[in-house]
Structure 1
Amino acid sequence: MADAPHHSRFRTGRILGIGLGALVLAGVLVVLLWSWDWFVPMVNSRASAALGRPTTVAHLHVRLGRVVTATVDDLTIAQPKGFEDEKQPFATARQASVSFDVWRYIWHRAVTLPLVAFDAPKLDVVRRADGSTNASFGSSKGAGGTPALPDIGELRITDGQARIADARLRADMMLAVHTTPPHDGERGQIVADARGRYAAQPIEGHFVGGALLTLLDTAHPYPVDLTVHNGPTLATLKGSIVNPMKFEGARLFLHFSGPDMSLLYPLTGIPIPRTPEYSVTGTLDYDSKAIRFGDMKGKMGSSDLDGTITVDPHPAVPFVQATLHSHRVDLVDLGGFIGANPDKTPTAAEKKAADADPNALPDTPINIPKLRAINAHLLYRGDHIENRRTPLDNIDADIAIQDGAIDVRRLNFAVGSGTLASVITLTPADTGFATRMRMDFAHIDLSRIMQATTGSGAKGIIGGHATLEATGNSVASLLARGNGGLTLVLDQGGDISALVPDVLGLQIGNAVLSALGFPKRTDVQCFIADMPLRDGVVSTRTLLLETGEGRTLGRGTIDLRRNIIDYALTTRSIHFSVAALPGAFHITGPLKSPSVLPGAEIVGRAAAAAGLGVVMPPLALLPTIQFGVGDTSICARAVRSANENPAAGIAPGTLSHPRGERRPAGRRAAPAPAPAPAAPGNATPGPATKIDPARIRAVWQARMRQGRQGGG
């Protein structure tokens, strides 16, 4: 009986020993046979639910300690629903690791990840034309809208690749991405190189920035160094961004250069008309309200450019405020702002086509880009216009764009001591733009215009107004459908032989001079044109040319719809002249190549050479004359005199003094030419009989030969 307790204790100890051994053996077996891959199905399930798309890992590794490190192999994140036709998964990685500081969590309840690393990650990001994207995830946010991220010590990317495809931006590019290790207390950098297509143009880019995690660092600016070649456009951006997640500001130096500013639209989102080659630098800053490109300096073609551009991106249609300035500007460089091609020289084929085109006015569609993409207000001033073909001295513009409509509140040019001022509105319409325009000419020096455009020595002072209201998409279509008119005054116009051939063209101009019958060096004392435009047809209210030798009155129409002219000019000598052949001659036919022929009155009524003249313009034109050339001008005096003592009107083909009217003292009627021989069977034509067309042409041709022999 004494051995019973001893035996019981032995048996209990044995059982305990076996149990302990079994536990040790089990522990050894667990250690020897344990596989974290047992948790792979759970990891796959949890990750797929969190990311909203199938997610798998091949293996799971965990290294235990104060800092626990979990590593997965062959991570694959599939495309979401609707993107299954993409050839590549949304994301893959040869290996992905996350370190978790357990000790810090136990003591401070803080989630700290000392390392997040991806080895050979690949990403495929797609946005389709309808705006749908495979990169859309649900996300939690902390206060202020900032993503609620844990404290990550280092984000390490090795041999990363990303494909970015965006149908809206017409972009498809590959990015090679890696990070540099932290050093000297810095978190390292991210380096990316891009190659592919952006805005349907080849693109290459190189980016060096601070570690991605420092984007959330409010204490230190985020460094940026970016170079982009997009087609022929080069853009560089270097500096730093202050708290980029909250748009608190930037200190960036921006440089753009390329052959055409319109190509910047995909990079900036701001539509710009076509320009010649340019290079522009400035500082880029932004805050929560606007983006500002300031201290801008550069060149555009042969023009310099400086100023400030501010963009408010918050409205549904971004608003752009631009205040720009040029010390010296070539207007050719601004041609794209009115739909022209600022740097294109016509080819021989294009010149041939232009010569064959029956249209006398440009019918190239006005191409103003993407007006509805922005609302804008532009102030521009060019101090000095540099262009030997342009007689303008400076430019001052105030232009607003709102909902696709252009409001040119001010477009003024200085011409010597004169001004060419315009106000224009263009509202989008089905056939182009509904256009309203008013242009004022005040004290314009004609010699400046003619010297620049034709090289001639014509001179004089121009004043007047032009108005237009029409709908169209080119200069030709606007005028062909337009209503408005032109009232123009030329005072002290100088030598007519220097003016008319250059204005009308050498061939037709010399023919008109010959028909007018004025001596070669006759000065233009006054020219007045008051010509309404109705539905594309220019008619004549007043057309008067007064020289030292005579007065010429114009009557007729210019049809801009059909590009034809039907016009008659009648001249009356102020002084008796045997050589003059007064009467009407006609300019008719296509605008580009009209015919100049005399009427029967030139031959049949040479006696009218002593006429007093034609009816002068109405007194209502005085305000225009006073505005345009001054109230002491010859034209102003002539109009006042004509309205106080109106001259007798002389109809073409009649005597200067109708029967029964007393001829002024000192005036004699010019002798009529000998009558033409009578045609067989016909009576000899009397003073009131018109000469047949063959006789008219014969006299006209003889006169033209005479003019050519005399130096014409």
Structure 2
Amino acid sequence: MSNPRNWRTFRADVHQRALVPAGVRLRSWRDWVRDNDPVYAAARRPASAEKWAAGVVLVLVAVVVLFLALFDWNMLRGPIGRWASVKYDRQIALTGDLDVNLFSWTPSAIVRGLKVGGPDWARDRDTADVDEIRASVRLRKLLAGQIEMPLLSFTRPRVVLITAKDGRKSWALNPNKPDTGEGLKLPVIQQLIITDGQLSFDEQRRGLTLQAAVNAREAASGAAGFVLDGRGDVRGSPLTLKIEGGPFMNIRRDRPYRFEANVTGAGSSLNAKGAITRPFDLGRFDATMTIEGGNLSDLYLLTGVTLPNTPAYRLSGALNRNERTWTFKDFDGRVGASDLSGEVRIDSAERLRVDAQLTSRRLDIDDLAAVLGARVRTNAAGTDTEAPVVVGGKLLPDAKLQTERLQTMDGTLTYRAAAVKANEFDVRAVNLGADLKDGILKLDPISFNFNRGEMNGTARIDATKTTPYSTVDLRLAGYPLESIIPARNGSSPLSGRALGRAKLEGPGASIHDFAAASKGSLSLVVPNGRMRAAFAELLGINASAGLLKLLSGDQSESQIRCAVADFTVSGGTATARTFIIDTDVVLAQGKGTIDLGAETLNLKIDGESKKPRLLRLWAPITVSGPLTAPEVGVDVREMVSQGGLAGLLGAVVAPVTALFAFVDPGLAENADCGRLIANAR
């Protein structure tokens, strides 16, 4: 315990050293002011002039106070309306009484009959028409540079919001100012009341209209709170929107304001539950969102974000808004029969930008076909029942690319499927990348890994015009032929590795239209492989050897020394430039065309045996008909029907035609194959 004598000594020492000198300096300054400052002297002993000046000031203050107390504020309605009309280039008027009360710790104002007209391109509809507005502010906060409103009340507000096809907004009072995409920031409102509000929204670019009732009530009952309930139409589809929030009573900036929003329309449904993290700052909130529908591309009609065609989907994740940046992250769900997860980031500045990173643990390849434009069959309940198909029996999808949507945004996409469900092409993994800027879409990479082999390539789509112009370059490496030709009786009729390339360009709003008008080249090379000897013999229409081996079930094989199919494409028609299949028993040469627009084949193969045979039928093999179901026959005029023989040949030749899309002109000059082809000729 400290000694009291020591404490008193310490305190006396502090007083002597610090407080006494400070007191002496303060008295010295006071004496100087009293003896030398004229203002102080005049205040203590005012002369007649000072007395008159003080009196005049007091009178003026009294006059101003009296004037403000008795002033008819309605006299300012006209000047305020004319000033605002000129400033914002639209008709603005105060048609009712204007009452102002300044003599209070919470100054208030009542505005009746506020009308805000539309811009020059929408003069026929007022942007706002409000019967009455009541507002008050806290004077103490206002003097400190802050706005805090104890009350903000709207009675029967009618608000009309119009977005023109060119992007102009009727509610933008400064249309020349760049749209930053930031959310509305409101002052602190302790009590918000909206009575019988009506909101009309017309988005002409997406064909979306909405009529909504808006109310905000403060009461002890459960009916209190904010409610926006609307009905409308989007491209002929019914639209509903409902947003609910808690009451605006004693809300603080550091306490989140909770809300729930539901939107249904255009075959889609969105539900979000969350909170505005800083009340009155509508540019920041966090929510949990679930979206579902029949096609992700339909969300463009609700959100303005361009998305690809897909089968039915359901995704759930975290939605966050931070000023102009929206993020849908950590989402997971299903698209068709495939899982999908990842993150989508949207920058809603003057030009929309979307960046997405997507992954699938297990992809159904049919769902990817839907993205490329294949159609999905659905049942009466609207759910997918079968794999995507192309309408009319077409092989190439004919869904149109909507160029006007691509022109409104930029962005990037990465997609990776770690595994792929069993499929006829034996695809095992997928890796895709896309970059969209100023209407130019670049796809790089386009990568498919098969059980053996892979296909890689790039594509470029110029969507700046009504009809897109595309360039495609795809390369096939090491693809096994036995993956296309199924094994029979435990033995594959054809084996080997295919190398190829497709290099095409041309106009077209769909993959089908692009192929039908394309130019370039298609080629396929099998440097070496094996073929059932029976089929090798039949390539030369050797009935004596081929039919005997087929009928006896012979499983012996012949070597494919090389096979080359090289086509030049012009106007959507691929014409054979080199078409050779060289085996150790037969040299087969072909000619003809493939019509990519009609998706039909017209090929003829002439075989020449390398060994003497007892019986030889000199007749070429024909491959004709649609790509989806080609017919294989024998061109004979005076011989017996070869129908049975043609059916056997169809088991091999028809599937091989599916490889024509991945062919490579340069590979025809491979050192090995090139020499064999030259010698055979």
Instruction: In structure 2, list runs of 5 or more residues that go unmatched.
Output: 1-68, 86-91, 641-662
Matched residue, 1:284: 319
Shift of residue 260, structure 1, vs aligned partner: 0.7
Matched residue, 2:414: 379
CA 1:642 to 1:128, structure 2 compared with 1: closer, same or farther past 3 Å? closer
Q: Which amino acid in 2 is paired with 1:123?
A: V
Once residues 289 and 72 of structure 2 are traced to their aligned partners in structure 1, the CA distance between those partners, rounded to angstroms, is 51
Matched residue, 2:240: 204
Calculate the aligned-residue CA RMSD, in Å.
Answer: 5.0
Whether the 8 Å CA contact 2:118–2:125 is kept in 1: the answer is no
Q: Residue 483 of structure 1: which of 493, 514, 520 is its match?
A: 520
Matched residue, 1:77: 115
Whether the 8 Å CA contact 1:565–1:594 is kept in 2: the answer is no
Once residues 107 and 62 of structure 1 are traced to their aligned partners in structure 2, the CA distance between those partners, rounded to angstroms, is 17
Whether the 8 Å CA contact 2:319–2:329 is kept in 1: the answer is yes
Matched residue, 2:93: 54
Q: Which amino acid in 1 is paired with 2:373?
A: G
Give the TM-score of the pair, scaled to structure 2: 0.67
Once residues 119 and 398 of structure 1 are traced to their aligned partners in structure 2, the CA distance between those partners, rounded to angstroms, is 52
Once residues 602 and 174 of structure 2 are traced to their aligned partners in structure 1, the CA distance between those partners, rounded to angstroms, is 75
Shift of residue 302, structure 1, vs aligned partner: 0.5
Residues 593-644 of structure 1: CA deviation (Å, up to 9, x unaligned):
6863149999xxxxxxxxxxxxxxxxxxxxx99x99xxxxxxx99859959x
Once residues 141 and 324 of structure 2 are traced to their aligned partners in structure 1, the CA distance between those partners, rounded to angstroms, is 39
Once residues 418 and 147 of structure 2 are traced to their aligned partners in structure 1, the CA distance between those partners, rounded to angstroms, is 62
Once residues 502 and 143 of structure 2 are traced to their aligned partners in structure 1, the CA distance between those partners, rounded to angstroms, is 82
CA 1:551 to 1:311, structure 2 compared with 1: closer, same or farther past 3 Å? same
Q: Does 1:224 align with 2:224?
A: no
Shift of residue 264, structure 1, vs aligned partner: 0.9
Alignment of 1:176-575 (within 5 A): 176-181=213-218, 189-198=225-234, 201-209=237-245, 219-243=254-278, 250-287=285-322, 290-314=325-349, 317-343=351-377, 354=392, 362=396, 364=398, 366-367=400-401, 370-428=405-463, 432-451=467-486, 458-473=493-508, 474-475=511-512, 477-478=514-515, 481-489=518-526, 491-495=528-532, 517=546, 519-520=549-550, 521=554, 523=557, 525-526=559-560, 528-535=563-570, 536-546=573-583, 550-558=585-593, 560=595, 567-575=603-611
Matched residue, 2:128: 90
Whether the 8 Å CA contact 1:246–1:288 is kept in 2: the answer is no
Structure index of larger Rg: 1
Once residues 194 and 448 of structure 1 are traced to their aligned partners in structure 2, the CA distance between those partners, rounded to angstroms, is 55
Shift of residue 138, structure 1, vs aligned partner: 7.2
Once residues 314 and 128 of structure 2 are traced to their aligned partners in structure 1, the CA distance between those partners, rounded to angstroms, is 40
CA 1:578 to 1:219, structure 2 compared with 1: closer, same or farther past 3 Å? same
Once residues 586 and 353 of structure 1 are traced to their aligned partners in structure 2, the CA distance between those partners, rounded to angstroms, is 31
Q: Which amino acid in 1 is paired with 2:190?
A: G
Give the TM-score of the pair, scaled to structure 1: 0.64
Q: Does 1:577 align with 2:613?
A: yes
Whether the 8 Å CA contact 1:440–1:465 is kept in 2: the answer is yes
1:540 is paired with a residue whose SS is strand
CA 1:540 to 1:65, structure 2 compared with 1: closer, same or farther past 3 Å? closer
Instruction: In structure 1, list runs of 5 or more residues that go unmatched.
Output: 1-35, 501-508, 603-623, 629-635, 650-712
Residues 263-312 of structure 1: CA deviation (Å, up to 9, x unaligned):
11133332112111100111123445743221120100110001122233
Whether the 8 Å CA contact 1:160–1:177 is kept in 2: the answer is yes
Matched residue, 1:45: 78
CA 1:226 to 1:587, structure 2 compared with 1: closer, same or farther past 3 Å? same
Residues 497-528 of structure 1: CA deviation (Å, up to 9, x unaligned):
7899xxxxxxxx99979699553246453150
2:577 is paired with a residue whose SS is coil
Q: Which amino acid in 2 is paired with 1:418?
A: G
Whether the 8 Å CA contact 1:79–1:134 is kept in 2: the answer is no
Whether the 8 Å CA contact 2:354–2:409 is kept in 1: the answer is yes
Q: Residue 194 of structure 2: which of 125, 142, 157 is its match?
A: 157
Shift of residue 80, structure 1, vs aligned partner: 4.8
1:276 is paired with a residue whose SS is coil
Whether the 8 Å CA contact 2:244–2:259 is kept in 1: the answer is yes
CA 1:600 to 1:312, structure 2 compared with 1: closer, same or farther past 3 Å? same
2:308 is paired with a residue whose SS is coil
Once residues 282 and 98 of structure 2 are traced to their aligned partners in structure 1, the CA distance between those partners, rounded to angstroms, is 41
Whether the 8 Å CA contact 2:424–2:483 is kept in 1: the answer is no
Alignment of 1:574-613 (within 5 A): 574-581=610-617, 583=618, 585=620, 587=622, 596-598=634-636
Once residues 209 and 513 of structure 2 are traced to their aligned partners in structure 1, the CA distance between those partners, rounded to angstroms, is 42
Percent of aligned pairs sharing the same letter = 18
Shift of residue 418, structure 1, vs aligned partner: 2.2
Shift of residue 484, structure 1, vs aligned partner: 1.4
Whether the 8 Å CA contact 2:161–2:200 is kept in 1: the answer is yes
Once residues 56 and 92 of structure 1 are traced to their aligned partners in structure 2, the CA distance between those partners, rounded to angstroms, is 10
